[in-house]
Structure 1
Amino acid sequence: MARRDRRWGMVALVFVAVLTPGGAASAAALPVVINTWAFRTAAETAWRVLESGGSELDAVERGCGQCEIDQCDGSVGYGGSPDERNCMEKIFFGAVAGLRRVKNAIGVARKVIEYTKHTLLVGESASLFAVRMGFPYEDLTTQKSLSLYSEWLNQSCQPNYWKNVVPDSSKSCGPYKRPEKVTYKEEQTSSQRSVHNHDTIGMVVIGVNGTVASGTSTNGAVHKIPGRVGDSPIAGAGSYADSTAGGAAATGDGDVMMRFLPSYQAVEYMRMGTDPTVACQKVISRIKKYAPKFFGAIICANTTGSYGAACNKIPGLTQFHFIVSSPLLSRPTEQAVDCI
């Protein structure tokens, strides 16, 4: 199992809603760019796009794409693990999953919207689509990724995402198979993710007229089982945007968070008039009820330019840092919230 998956890929998502706002936006607080984690260059890039007259979708694509180039925090961009990807405009949705050998994944997702009538392209065919759209094949392997992979093999492939298989996945690299007699063991364990292994940038951009765009770009979970798709390419999970309400983007344990469509739920709370911070907190509390040890956070912004964030408090994650750009700030500013 472990030794056959040495191809390093990347995952990205962009989800956009471009609709006529239901009412006048508060120009005093717009435009706004907010992104997860302390990825300042991504925020600066997105803000420059808006300042130069680019669209909200352009800002999301370029901002998240900056992290794909810079390998923000070492956990986003090439040199990671296998992958996924997504995008949406006017409540149309486009995504790619399992994209290989292409660095600019966020750009490929946008092409799904612009040049196809489909929602999701996967695997090798997604990579072929990228080439047809003008994206070059590139080697995404780095010395760091190879070192991490070798270290993982030397530690008997620990940690990994297998369970209820033989040989014992907690002690061996496999290859694994289903046992003759299956005894399923379901247990609540701490997430394998951490502040240094979150794999994702999420971004929400709101233009001066209240148009909302949001997106994510990520490597996916480190040492994932080949074929795994996380929350990023799932509409309403990794990201969601609606210009009648606002936008949200999530980061963390996608295998847990995608089951609750947190970004969609946060936007629906804001649609009902809930403050963005409270909307984020309600989403985190909802997931925490069923998975108290999950690793995750979410950012929210509404069409007036108000924003907020929330995270689940676990060992190693007691505060969540994010970047905000707006006319009320002299430059992209790092902010933080205490986890709940």
Structure 2
Amino acid sequence: MQRRKFLKNSTAATAGLISAPLMAGQTNALNNQITNTTVAVKPIVICTWDFHNASSKAWEILKDGGSSLDAVTEGVMVEENDVNNQTVGIGGRPDRDGNVTLDSCIMDKDGNCGAVLAMQNIANPILVARKVMEETPHVMLAGKGAEQFAHEMGFKKTNLLTEKSKQEWIEWQKTAQYKPIINIENHDTIGMLAIDANGDISGACTTSGMGYKMAGRVGDSPIIGAGLFVDNEVGGATATGVGEEVVRTVGSFLIVELMRQGKSPQEACKEGVERIMAKNKDRDDFQIGFIAINKAGETGGYCIHPGFTYRSYSEEGHVNNPSESYIKS
């Protein structure tokens, strides 16, 4: 049963309980605020880190009139397929048992979403996450169940552990110290947000997670509201870094709600990081980076340590944007 058909019957009975005038008033107020303050920039795509090939691919789709959902899907797949990127997709660093497990999620303009967690042997988890969103009544599938579903959808079994990642894992076992290096092992994610020519927003996030993590560990990346959140009336946000801390603050949802309250994407990302640091007053040994975009196409990024950047691509150009940081040096 397709997801939309499944949801139609279950939601029809409650649709009348929502006040249409109230919802329209809130939407109009937000749209008027954006219209009065800035000229909308669209289409536009942004992504975590300097993934210029990924943002270029997404822009190709957007400039030709494609949807934001297709743009973020195709964009992050560039990194999933890059064996030299050891933090995403095939070639990702394994867990401490030597298994590569992948996490991914996707969210569209209507609030539909799908995710796969700790999935092995499938090279493009973002495509499986999208299938979960579009073809099932569920939001998340995990582990063997996610892999089984992928096979049922026609995805082929793939050995995700490249020789390079395997040899590094063998070397790591000599000490077995779990101390991810800030801005290297910690940039374990590509998160991407896009607005298409229609003004619709979508987002995607995909990762192989922390290298040499405990078997079964899942961070924020496939968790809707933590690693990614989109509200088509407001904007979207996504995260990278130590996912446990993002989960604890439901970071991406928080940032979108701060934008709903009137904060700019930059201000919202800054407060998101500050919330995390307020809960970690005696720690500075980890990195978090947030990026966000609002309905007008304004963007922002903020992180804990210097070194985080995010790519943006629009008619105004293709730019790698240095992020402001909580710790200045």
Note if contact 1:39-1:72 (Cα within 8 Å) is conserved in structure 2: no
Is 26-35 or 42-51 further displaced after alignment? 26-35
TM-score (norm 2): 0.82
Q: Which has the higher contact order (CA 8 A, sep 6+)?
A: 1
Choose from 306, 321, 324 the match for 2:312. Answer: 324
What do the CA deviations read for 1:293-318 (whole angstroms, capped 9, x no partner)?
231110011010100100013xxxx1
Q: How does 1:165-244 map to 2 (within 5 A)?
A: 192-197=180-185, 198-244=187-233
What do the CA deviations read for 1:203-238 (whole angstroms, capped 9, x no partner)?
110123321111111111111111111111111111
What do the CA deviations read for 1:145-175 (whole angstroms, capped 9, x no partner)?
11111011122x212xxxxxxxxxxxxxxxx
Please state how far the C-alpha of 1:193 moved relative to its aligned partner.
4.4
Note if contact 2:121-2:157 (Cα within 8 Å) is conserved in structure 1: yes
Please state how far the C-alpha of 1:92 moved relative to its aligned partner.
2.9
Structure richer in helix, relative to its length: 2
**Alignment RMSD, CA only?**
1.8
Is 48-57 or 65-74 further displaced after alignment? 65-74
- What amino acid does structure 2 have at the position aligned with 1:88? M
**Could you tell me which residue of structure 1 aligns to residue 165 of structure 2?**
145
Note if contact 1:85-1:95 (Cα within 8 Å) is conserved in structure 2: yes
**Could you tell me which residue of structure 2 aligns to residue 337 of structure 1?**
323
Choose from 51, 55, 65 the match for 1:53. Answer: 65
SS of residue in 2 equivalent to 1:285: helix
Choose from 291, 307, 310 the match for 1:299. Answer: 291
**Could you tell me which residue of structure 2 aligns to residue 246 of structure 1?**
235
SS of residue in 2 equivalent to 1:44: helix
Which segments of 5 or more consecutive residues in structure 2 lack a partner in the other structure?
Answer: 1-23, 95-100
Note if contact 1:206-1:212 (Cα within 8 Å) is conserved in structure 2: yes
Q: What count of residue pairs does the alignment treat as equivalent?
A: 283
SS of residue in 2 equivalent to 1:151: helix
**Could you tell me which residue of structure 2 aligns to residue 104 of structure 1?**
124
Choose from 260, 277, 290 the match for 2:266. Answer: 277
What do the CA deviations read for 1:237-280 (whole angstroms, capped 9, x no partner)?
11111111001110000012111111100000111111110110
**Partners of 1:338 and 1:280 in 2: CA distance:** 10
**Partners of 2:324 and 2:164 in 1: CA distance:** 32
Which segments of 5 or more consecutive residues in structure 1 lack a partner in the other structure?
Answer: 1-19, 160-190
